[in-house]
Structure 1
Amino acid sequence: MNDGLQLEPGIRRFLDEMRAEWRNHPPFETLSFPEQRQVAEQVRARWTSGGPVMARTTDRVLDPGAGELPLRIYLPEGVAEPAPALVYLHGGGFTLFSIETHDRLMREYAAQGGFAVIGVDYPLAPEAKYPVALDRIEALMLWLHANGRELGIDPDRLAMGGDSAGANLSFATTLRLRERGLHGIVRAILSNYGGFSARLSDEAEAKFGGPGSIMDRAEAEQYYANYLNDAGEADDPFACPINADLTGFPPVFLCIPECDIVTEQSVAMDARLRAAGVETASKLYRGAIHSFLEAMSVSALAREAIADGADFVASKLEAR
C-alpha cells in the first residue's frame, strides 16, 4: 500500500500494530489453513476485547436443514423479546476468522442499534467450497423466519450484514431468498467493505495492493481460489454478486473505506443497486482501510462508521 496515504490516526495505529503482530509469526504462506486461522485469531485478539456488556449472550449450535451452524446471539440491555435481529457474517476471505474475532463488533452493533445480533460461524474454505456456507446461511434465514421466536427473535424483523466476504454472503443469501419468492425475509443489508467479485483491477492494485497492505491483490485472489471450485464460478452471481440482477432487493447501506483494494467493488455495487431501483445509502470513510471497523477501540472514524451502520439497521427494523 502507498504509505503516503493519509490514514486517520487511530487507523494508522491499528495498521502499524497489526503489521508488528504479524511479524511475530511465521510467514502466512508457510502455514496450513488450521494454523493460519489460529494465528489470525491471536493477531485479532487484542482488538476484540472491551466494549459493551450484553443483557444475555447465548451460544448455540443449530442445524437449520443444510448442516450445523454455531451461532452466538447477543441481546443488549433494554430490548424486549421477540427482538429485531441483525444476522452478522464475519469477514476473512471465506477462509479465516470467526465469531470470536468479531465478538466486540457485534456487541457494538447490538448496543448502539437496540437490536439483537446473531453471529454465525459458517463453514470455511477451502475445506468447504462454494456453495456450502451459502447453503447453510440460506437455511438459517429460512429457519429464523419460521422459528425465530424459539431464540427470542422476531421473525418479521430480520436484517443481514457482514464485512468483506460476509457482505458477499449477505447479498448472495438475499439473492437466494428472492429466487424463492421470499423478498420480505431480509428487511435490510449492512455491507461493510464488501468483496463482490473475484476480479480486481490493476488500478486498485497500484493504489492499495502493494507490500504492507492489510489485504493485497494476491491475497484477495487466493481467497477466491480457496472459495470457488473453478475459475468459471467468478461469473456466478451467487458467488460474485456484482454480476447479479439486484431488482427487488431490500434497502442497503454500503460502508466504504477510502483506502482499500475492494473499494471499487462497493462503488460499483452502489451504482448497480441504484440502477435497479433499490433504496441505497453509502458513505465513504476517508482515511480508512479494509477491516477498519476492528480499530474501534482506537479510532473515532471506526466508531462513527459503526454508529452509522447501527442507525441504518435500527431504522429499517424499527428497533427504537
Structure 2
Amino acid sequence: MSKYKISREFFPFSHFTPPISEKFLAMAVPHMKVPNCIYRDKELDVSRHEVESYDGEKIECFFMSPKNIGGNAPCLIYIHGGGFVLPAAGYHYKNAMRYAKEVGCRVVFVNYRLAPKNPYPVFYEDCYSSMCWAYDNAETLGIDTSRIGIGGDSAGSTLAVGVCMMAKDRAHPVKFRFQMLPYPYLDARNNSESCKKYTNTPMWNSTLSDRIGPMTKVDRNAPNYVYYSPVEAESFEGLPPAYIETAEFDCLHDDGILYAEKLREAGVDVMLNETKGTMHGFDIVQKAETAKAAVSARIRFMRNAFSED
C-alpha cells in the first residue's frame, strides 16, 4: 500500500516507477515504437516528416491535422516527456491527437534525439529546428504563423520553455501564443521542498531526477544552461502566457509553482492548475476522471489562446 494519498483511479501506475538506468535504456528504448493508432483516427490526417536539425542530422516529426480544417490554421508544437532519455509513449500521441481535434489546430509532434547517446544541447536544438521547420513551411503546411503555441509535459516542458527562450534570444520572428506545461521539470537544482519530500513517489521522483543530469551530460557552466533549468534565468520578460499544471505527489510540484511566480513577477499571464490526488504523469491513465478534467483544462486554455485577437 502506498504511503501517498494518490487517487485509486490511477492504479496500477500509482505503484509503478520506471527503472531508469543506462542499462535499462539500452534494452528498452529500441523496442518502444510509434503506435499504429496515430494512423487510424478517421478525423485526422497524419504524415511523417524528416526534419533537418542544426547539425544536418534528420529527426522525425509527425504532422497531425484535423480533416475538417481548411486554410491556414493554428499550430501546436508538442514536445513529449520522458526525462530526456525515453521516447514518446502511447498516451503522448493520444493526447496530441486529442489536442488537434478538440482545440482545432494542427500539431507538430517532435521526436527529438535522446540522451545519453545525444548529450545536451542536441535535444534542445532538435526541438528548436522543428519549430523553425514548421514556421518556414507554414504556407505549405497550412499554418497561421500568428497563431503558434508550444507545449510539452515533464521534460517536454523543459524543452518547450527552452525553445521559447531560444526564440527570444535568437530574435526569431515567431510569437508564441502560449506555453502549455503539464507537470513541468524546470529547476535542475533538484533541491525544492517537493524534491526533498518525494524521493520515492511513483512514475517519477527526485531520486530519478538526480540520475538524469549525468545522462544528459549538461553542466552548470554550459552555454545557456538556463534552457535546462529555466527558473534560474535572469529575465522572464517577453515569454508567452502560460498554462502550468502540477501534480500533488510529484517531486516537480514546486518547479511549476516557482516558474508561475517568476512569470507573474515579469508581468506574464499564468493559469495555474494544481491537481489533487495525482502523481507525475497521471494522465497516462486516460480514463481517470481527474486526468480527463486536466486534459480538458489544457484544451480550453489553448482554444482560448488561439482565438484571441
Structures share fold, TM-score greater than 0.5:
yes
Q: For residue 155 of structure 1, what is the aligned residue in structure 2? A: 145
Please list every run of 5 or more consecutive structure 2 residues that lacks an aligned counterpart in the other structure.
Answer: none
Which moves more between the two structures, 186-195 or 70-79?
Answer: 70-79
Deviations 1:183-209 (A, max 9, x none): 643221100111012222373245322
Q: For residue 295 of structure 2, what is the aligned residue in structure 1? A: 306
Letter in 1 for 2:118: A
Task: Please say if 1:196 is aligned against 2:186.
Answer: yes
Matched residues in 2 for 1:270 and 1:143: separation?
29
Matched residues in 2 for 1:50 and 1:213: separation?
31
Task: Please say if 1:286 is aligned against 2:285.
Answer: no
Root-mean-square deviation (CA, aligned residues, Å) is: 2.9
- CA drift at 1:280: 0.9
Deviations 1:93-128 (A, max 9, x none): 111122755211111222221112211000111111
Matched residues in 1 for 2:45 and 2:191: separation?
44
What secondary structure, in the 3-state scheme, does the structure 2 residue paired with 1:242 have?
helix
What secondary structure, in the 3-state scheme, does the structure 2 residue paired with 1:197 have?
coil
Which moves more between the two structures, 272-281 or 310-319?
Answer: 310-319
Matched residues in 1 for 2:40 and 2:47: separation?
17
What secondary structure, in the 3-state scheme, does the structure 1 residue paired with 2:303 have?
helix
What secondary structure, in the 3-state scheme, does the structure 2 residue paired with 1:97 have?
coil
Letter in 2 for 1:156: S
Alpha-carbon contact 2:179-2:241 (below 8 Å) kept? yes
Which of 65, 86, 100 lines up with 1:75 in the alignment? 65
Q: For residue 222 of structure 1, what is the aligned residue in structure 2? A: 211
- CA drift at 1:32: 4.9
> Identity rate of aligned residues, in percent?
22
Alpha-carbon contact 1:109-1:307 (below 8 Å) kept? no
TM-score (norm 2): 0.88
Q: For residue 177 of structure 2, what is the aligned residue in structure 1? A: 187
What secondary structure, in the 3-state scheme, does the structure 2 residue paired with 1:91 have?
coil
Alpha-carbon contact 2:158-2:184 (below 8 Å) kept? yes
Which moves more between the two structures, 170-179 or 230-239?
Answer: 230-239
What secondary structure, in the 3-state scheme, does the structure 2 residue paired with 1:259 have?
coil
Distance 1:64 1:187, change over 3 A: farther
Q: For residue 37 of structure 1, what is the aligned residue in structure 2? A: 29
- When the two structures are aligned, how many residues end up with a matched partner? 306
Q: For residue 15 of structure 1, what is the aligned residue in structure 2? A: 14
Letter in 2 for 1:201: N
TM-score (norm 1): 0.85
Matched residues in 1 for 2:192 and 2:266: separation?
27
Q: What pairs up with 1:256-275 in 2 under 5 angstroms?
A: 256-275=246-265
What secondary structure, in the 3-state scheme, does the structure 2 residue paired with 1:31 have?
helix
Please list every run of 5 or more consecutive structure 1 residues that lacks an aligned counterpart in the other structure.
Answer: none
